[in-house]
Amino acid sequence: MYPSASLPVSTRVVALREHAPVWGPVLAGLAALYLPTFVGLATGLWTEGEQGHGPMILAICCWLFYRRWDEMWVKSSYDSPSAWGWPAAFIGLALYFVGRSQGILLFEVGSLVWILSAILLLTRGTIALKAQWFGLFFMLFMVPLPSQVVDLVTMPMKIAVSYVSEHVLYWLGYPISRTGVILQIGQYKLLVADACAGLHTLLTLEALGLLYLNIIRRDSTFRNTCLAILIIPISFTANVIRVTSLVLITYHFGDAAGQGFLHGFAGMVLFLSALALIIGLDSLLTTLSRLKTQGVKFQKTTNVAP
């Protein structure tokens, strides 16, 4: 058995001091490698609307590592460093140098996952890697995808969102028509942009749903599996709500309102509606799982009754 992460703080501090490696060179090496990368992202790619989720993902990853750090450290005190860290370090460094030299952000940013995994394996062992697996996995949502892949997936998504939004508003009685991803309502024409219904938005909402699952942590396998599968249609529905809201704002308040502050506010509506749908479905699935469990117990009780 491993000592619990709920050990007294004084006990954990002593354990850290006794077994702590020299983290200074490790942190200095990480800063030397990735500080230029993140400075470049902060002044470049992350300033674009489609990639604006990058800083949020990075901050959440740091919080996830911090959240499991004490538990990881105490449990891994009884583990030994793993030699598997060397292949991971080699792959990470190879990806970094190829990505950095050739300007391939997919490799350059993605190498961070391999490098951090190698550090955990070489300093604390496989138990530490298992403790921090979700933070490392969550970091993948920060990795920029090739534009060819994004464009290939985004266009069908935009057409689908435009189609559903058009039919919802038509059903509500609004004078709306659609040509591809262009919606015309009244005298206004609106182009459904990548930021409104693209792959990056879907990935951001997918990350939000998985983060919710990780934080809530319920024991029901049925509930967790169903909710993980339903995150994709939830993301699609949230995108439809966002586009429909922007169309209604433009129709009732004019083009200036639709492209101004309320346009940014519609982004908040996207995440709030997605979170509300996730929580609502989670409550429904939890209720169904509870009823299923009660039904099984009632059936067993009935079977053993005289």
**R_g of the chain computed on alpha carbons:** 24
Share above pLDDT 90 across residues of the chain, in percent, rounded to a whole number: 28
| Local structure of residue 140 (DSSP, 8 states) | G
pLDDT for residue 19 is more than 60: no
- Residue 7's pLDDT is what? 45
pLDDT band at 44 (very low <50, low <70, confident <90, very high): confident
**Mean pLDDT across 236-242:** 84
Instruction: Give the neighbor-by-neighbor strand order of the sheet with 188-191.
Output: 176-179, 182-185, 188-191
What does the CA dihedral 111, 117, 119, 122 come to, rounded to 10 degrees?
Answer: -130
pLDDT at residue number 11: 46
Residue 196 bears catalytic tag: yes
* Stretch 197-208: mean pLDDT: 76
CB within 8 Å of 265: residues ≥ 6 apart: none
> Residues 6 or more apart from 244 whose CB is under 8 A from it?
165, 168, 169
- Residue 33 near residue 115 (C-beta atoms within 8 A): yes
Q: What's the distance, CA 238 to chain centroid?
A: 15
Residue 5 has pLDDT above 60, yes or no: no
| Amino acid making up residue 272 | L
Determine which helix (DSSP H) or strand (DSSP E) holds 101, and give its type and residue range. helix 85-102
Catalytic, out of 12, 68, 124, 242:
242
Per-residue pLDDT, 260:
61
pLDDT digit string, tens, across residues 78-88? 778 889 999 99
Catalytic residue among 68, 124, 196, 223: 196
Handedness of CA 247, 253, 254, 256 (dihedral sign): negative
What mean pLDDT value characterizes the chain? 80
CA 293 – CA 169 distance, rounded (Å): 41
Q: Quote helix, strand, coil % in the chain, to nearest 5.
A: 80, 5, 15
Give residues with Cβ within 8 angstroms of 167, minimum separation 6: none
pLDDT tens figures, 94-139: 999 999 999 899 999 999 999 999 999 998 889 999 999 999 999 9
Question: Which carries the bigger pLDDT value, residue 44 or residue 18?
Answer: 44
220 or 124, which is more confident: 124
User: In this predicted structure, what is the pLDDT of residue 297?
Assistant: 52
Q: What integer pLDDT is reported at residue 243 of this predicted model?
A: 87
Question: Is 242 annotated in the active site?
Answer: yes
DSSP 125: -
Check pLDDT > 90 for residue 38. Answer: yes
The predicted-structure confidence for 166-193, as pLDDT tens digits, reads as follows 999 999 999 999 988 889 988 888 888 7
pLDDT value for 207: 84
